[in-house]
Amino acid sequence: MALSYNSASFLIVSLLSISFTLTIVKADLIDDVCSNAQKPALCLSALRADSRSKDANLEGLATISIDISLKNAQSARDLVNTLLKQATDPKLKTRYDSCLENYNDAVDDLRGLPALLKSKDYGGLNIHASAALDDPSTCDDNFSEPPAQSPQLKAASDNLQGLVGIILVISNLLKG
């Protein structure tokens, strides 16, 4: 059975419309998540940069956010380790040593999140993501008095907190 030109045109337009609508729904999901994030621009940039987010639902976006946050926490921990090794001031050494513990805790907290997500324990996901958010902030608190925190570490801390904030937004949405 041959399709007429009008039938074929209608079919093509219909399929394109459905495809376009599905794309908009996914983009809206990212926009919805990021509009509630602590740092919306960082959220949009991070999620849109990952090719997996194109077809992701909320749980998929949570997985992506966890992956990005974990990599960022590991990089920040490496930076703290480097700063600790380079520090000559005893106060800085003590502070960076404390920060190293904080970032080790953040990495551990983030490593536990995929299992919580898989088991649909969204409350536990939220609690452990909150702990991972507190760890770099606790490090920052060590630098309330001179000597000052390294600008690179402050930037890494701010970035990590913004990324972990995405996980919190998503966990709250998943909890409903």
Q: What pLDDT, in 10s, does the model give residues 6-55? A: 443 443 434 334 343 333 444 589 999 999 999 999 999 999 999 999 99
Q: For the segment 49-63, what is each residue's pLDDT rounded down to a tens digit?
A: 999 999 999 999 999
Q: Which tokens sit at 87? A: 């520090």
Q: Which tokens sit at 45? A: 């940039």
End-to-end CA distance of the chain: 49
Tell me what pLDDT residue 176 has. 84
Q: For the segment 100-143, what is each residue's pLDDT rounded down to a tens digit?
A: 999 999 999 999 999 999 999 999 999 999 999 999 999 999 99
User: Is the overall model pTM greater than 0.85, yes or no?
Assistant: no
Nearest to 113 by CA among 151, 77, 70, 73: 70
Tell me what pLDDT residue 14 has. 42
Ramachandran sector of residue 120 (left: φ over 0; alpha: ψ -120 to 50; beta: rest): left
Nearest to 63 by CA among 13, 125, 123: 125
